[in-house]
Structure 1
Amino acid sequence: MKLPHSNIWKLFIIKGGLWFMIIMPVIILFFQDNGLNMMEIMSLQACYSASLALAEIPSGYAADLLGRKKTLVLGCVLSFLGFSLFSISYSFWWFLAAEIILGLGNSFISGADTALMYDTLLEIKLEKKFLKYEGRSISIGNFSEAIAGIIGGSFAAISFRYPAYAQVLISFFIIPFAISLKEPKMQQERMKKSWKSILEVMNFSFRKSKVLRTHIFYSSGVGMGTLMMAWLAQPFLKELGVEMKYYGLLWALLNVVVGLVSYQAHRIENKFSEFQSLFIVGFLCISCYLLISFNINVTGFGVLLLFYANRGYATPLLRNHINRHTPSNVRATVMSIRSLIIRMSFALIAPWIGWVADQWGLNNAFLIMGFLVTGIAIYCLSWFYKNKKELAHNK
């Protein structure tokens, strides 16, 4: 596939490197091997999400003000430092420090990478191809995580520390590619150099543009649901009695499913109206949570595969819808607002879900998540249904 700009393939490599998470297939087992229970593990992830969320809008603002490239480079460097500390940590508090650094690093990457890709395409008048390339990017990320899953499972069979050490090397590898990116010329004026501009962007996102506000809420709700499932999948495999040597292979399978669907996301979208696409991703997210809560067995793994397939379609689709309704000079900030809502929601809910899993069982944790996503979906889809003409106009 011939790419129209060097930024695109570099962003693909960065995405692949960031998602080459050798530690992920066994991270729950890794934490448990260091004496942590599910509530402590989910509390760590809540703190990670909170640190990421608190820096989301300032980092998105920095990307709009100073440039996407600089913030991406900073994010990659912080990720390297965070994984370095993570690899030598053995207790809750050291893991917490590492998670906070990683959260800050990812906050500078989140939003800036998507905005850089969109503005690169906008500059060469190919912005309508964004969903195609964003889908490719997510697909690469998931194929990368799939390969990493197989390697990580093999490493963990020797020692849980080996995947953590390998993660340090991988995070260092992507820094030169971030440095080599080219900042696209803005199609519109840059944001005014004032922190008041952040409030102006939030006012535009949540008051002036009702369609953008609803897209942000809906994308955030579905995004929070997919993020929570990523952390519940490994306890689910453990309850199934899966041997550790198969964790990497099953993790790889889940990510291959996401990658295959993401790769075809732009073609799938063309078969449906915008409202139909939005309804499908919400309906499948909710249905899978509710079904899996009653099927902690092999059938439940089939439902988990369906959930991950839906994730492969939902992620690029919902980002594309937000980009359609967002001016170029505030795009990174708006994408960061979306990420902030996802991460803060996760930070508030994750420890509670972890406690439910410890005390009442994993099936009840899935059930509660299904009800939470249902509430968000009903609110947003009702608005989308009443305003289908506006959605069709902007497609």
Structure 2
Amino acid sequence: MSRTYAGNIPKLYAIKIAKWFMLTMPIIVLFYQENGLSMQDVLTLKGIYSVAVVVLEIPSGYLADVWGRKKSLILGAILGCLGFVVYSFSYGFTGFLAAELILGIGSSFISGSDSAMLYDSLLKMKREKEYLKQESRVMSVGNFAEAIAGIAGGSLALISLRTPFVLQSFIAFIAIPAAFLLLDPNQDSKKSKAGFKHILSIVKFSLWDSAKLRWNIMLSSVIGCATLTLAWFIQPYLKDLDMEVSTIGVIWTLLNLTVGFVALLAHRVEGYLGKIGTSVFIVIGISSGFILTGWFHSLIGVGVLFFFYFVRGIATPVLKDYINRITESDMRATVLSVRNFIIRICFAAIGPFLGWYTDHYSISSALMLAGSIFFVLGGVSVIFMRKVES
């Protein structure tokens, strides 16, 4: 049976690749602008996507706990493919909005379920201590896929900016058979508590009753929102430096390769610095990445982006591991979805504002403002986390 559950790991790799081999990411903002969207429109669109994820984030995580992680991942994979099909035939804000809503709902059924599936598969094999290493590897596979896609997407964009979206539909389809072949490690567990009140009880426990879980979730959410926010500034930032689309694709590739390689070493960095030291390093690294990128609106700023992505490679797997260590299996997907819920709520609030700020002032000042916001939020989270950990 252990061998069967071990088979979940390469299938989760396939789902991650299908999700992260994003041919569209190196050119998506340029694609929006070609179709008449302003920077405020772009971040408003992404803010609405976040709201779509938020609406179903916690319920979908809970469904993964009581209905089955496998079924949740299958539904998410199908919607992920459908969303890019809709994108391929859309030409304006309304069509893009429909695609984003479909992708948002699909993403909500995958987020939390994939990490919970990985952790509980390892738990069944009595290898749960390997989670941070395995999560780092899964993340690396995803970033390597995104890096390769950066080159491919930039090249395909020379045909047209729409071409990457058409081919992305076929890439996304790969996740569907991979999800069908998974074995749910919790398929035989009792699920008699299903209901809205039980969802609220888990949310209350994770954000109110358990102070340790609350502040681990808060820190992970702040950093998650920060990395998501910067991702949508990179293309216009590089375009502002008069870079060609092909050059932007290469830089996008190198940034994701950086995350991929660093993630493989995340468990060593965490082991050396310890929990609080690693958390402080992450907050300072992420916030200073924003501020210095905005301050040096030049090739030096591009260099700072690589430092930001270096820190990101450590932050994502490590902060997820902190949450998993103190979460029971029967609520794991729900708790991870609470984290993703907060990330999306924060982005839905901050993203459109920063987009408006960019349109009315400058991208540099918007980046420095964002860095200051995330430094305060992250710093407060670390202070309280240290208090409850001691």
TM-score where L is the length of structure 1: 0.96
1:106 match:
107
Secondary structure of the 1:157 match is: coil
1:369 match:
370
CA offset at residue 188 of structure 1? Answer: 6.8
Identity %: 44
Secondary structure of the 2:205 match is: helix
CA offset at residue 169 of structure 1? Answer: 0.6
| Matches of 1:23 and 1:105, distance apart in 2 | 17
| Matches of 2:332 and 2:301, distance apart in 1 | 38
| Matches of 1:14 and 1:360, distance apart in 2 | 40
Letter in 1 for 2:88: S
| Matches of 1:378 and 1:173, distance apart in 2 | 40
Alignment of 1:230-245 (within 5 A): 230-245=231-246
| Matches of 2:281 and 2:146, distance apart in 1 | 25
Change (3 A) 1:3 1:226: farther
| Matches of 2:47 and 2:4, distance apart in 1 | 38
Which has the larger displacement, 220-229 or 264-273? 264-273
Contact 1:17/1:170, CA 8 A, preserved across alignment: yes
| Matches of 2:191 and 2:281, distance apart in 1 | 36
CA offset at residue 264 of structure 1? Answer: 1.4
1:348 match:
349
CA offset at residue 388 of structure 1? Answer: 4.2
Secondary structure of the 1:336 match is: helix
Secondary structure of the 1:140 match is: helix
Letter in 2 for 1:381: V
What CA deviation, in whole Å up to 9, does each residue of 1:340-368 have, x standing for no partner?
Answer: 11011111111111111111000111011
| Matches of 2:294 and 2:45, distance apart in 1 | 24
1:392 match:
none
Alignment of 1:206-217 (within 5 A): 206-217=207-218
Secondary structure of the 1:270 match is: helix
Contact 1:201/1:333, CA 8 A, preserved across alignment: yes
1:393 match:
none
What CA deviation, in whole Å up to 9, does each residue of 1:65-93 have, x standing for no partner?
Answer: 01100000000001111110011100101
2:293 match:
292
Q: After the TM superposition, which segments of 4 or more aligned residues of structure 1 sit over 6 Å from their partners? A: none
Task: Tell me, yes or no, if structure 1 residue 157 matches structure 2 residue 181.
Answer: no
2:89 match:
88
What CA deviation, in whole Å up to 9, does each residue of 1:51-73 have, x standing for no partner?
Answer: 01111011001000011000000
The root-mean-square deviation of aligned C-alpha atoms, in Å, is 1.4
Task: Tell me, yes or no, if structure 1 residue 226 matches structure 2 residue 227.
Answer: yes
Letter in 2 for 1:33: E
1:124 match:
125
CA offset at residue 385 of structure 1? Answer: 2.9
Letter in 1 for 2:161: F
| Matches of 1:94 and 1:188, distance apart in 2 | 41
Letter in 2 for 1:319: K
| Matches of 1:73 and 1:344, distance apart in 2 | 25
Secondary structure of the 1:29 match is: helix
| Matches of 2:298 and 2:4, distance apart in 1 | 43
Which has the larger displacement, 368-377 or 141-150? 368-377
What CA deviation, in whole Å up to 9, does each residue of 1:355-386 have, x standing for no partner?
Answer: 11111000111011111112212211111333
Contact 2:5/2:121, CA 8 A, preserved across alignment: no
TM-score where L is the length of structure 2: 0.97
| Matches of 1:338 and 1:388, distance apart in 2 | 19
Letter in 2 for 1:70: K
Secondary structure of the 2:272 match is: coil
Letter in 1 for 2:177: P
CA offset at residue 4 of structure 1? Answer: 7.3
Contact 1:122/1:187, CA 8 A, preserved across alignment: no
* Number of equivalenced pairs: 388
2:143 match:
142
Alignment of 1:61-72 (within 5 A): 61-72=62-73
Contact 1:38/1:355, CA 8 A, preserved across alignment: yes
Contact 2:40/2:355, CA 8 A, preserved across alignment: yes
| Matches of 1:147 and 1:72, distance apart in 2 | 24
CA offset at residue 251 of structure 1? Answer: 0.6
Q: Which runs of 5+ in 1 are unaligned?
A: 390-395
Secondary structure of the 1:158 match is: coil
Change (3 A) 1:187 1:288: farther
Alignment of 1:183-222 (within 5 A): 183-185=184-186, 189-190=190-191, 192-222=193-223
| Matches of 1:261 and 1:380, distance apart in 2 | 24
Change (3 A) 1:231 1:20: same
1:6 match:
7
What CA deviation, in whole Å up to 9, does each residue of 1:239-275 have, x standing for no partner?
Answer: 1111112121111000000000111111221112111
Letter in 2 for 1:269: E
Contact 1:186/1:328, CA 8 A, preserved across alignment: no
1:384 match:
385
2:314 match:
313
| Matches of 1:103 and 1:4, distance apart in 2 | 29
2:179 match:
178
| Matches of 1:15 and 1:54, distance apart in 2 | 23
| Matches of 1:313 and 1:206, distance apart in 2 | 24
Letter in 2 for 1:184: P
| Matches of 2:284 and 2:344, distance apart in 1 | 22
2:280 match:
279
Task: Tell me, yes or no, if structure 1 residue 334 matches structure 2 residue 345.
Answer: no
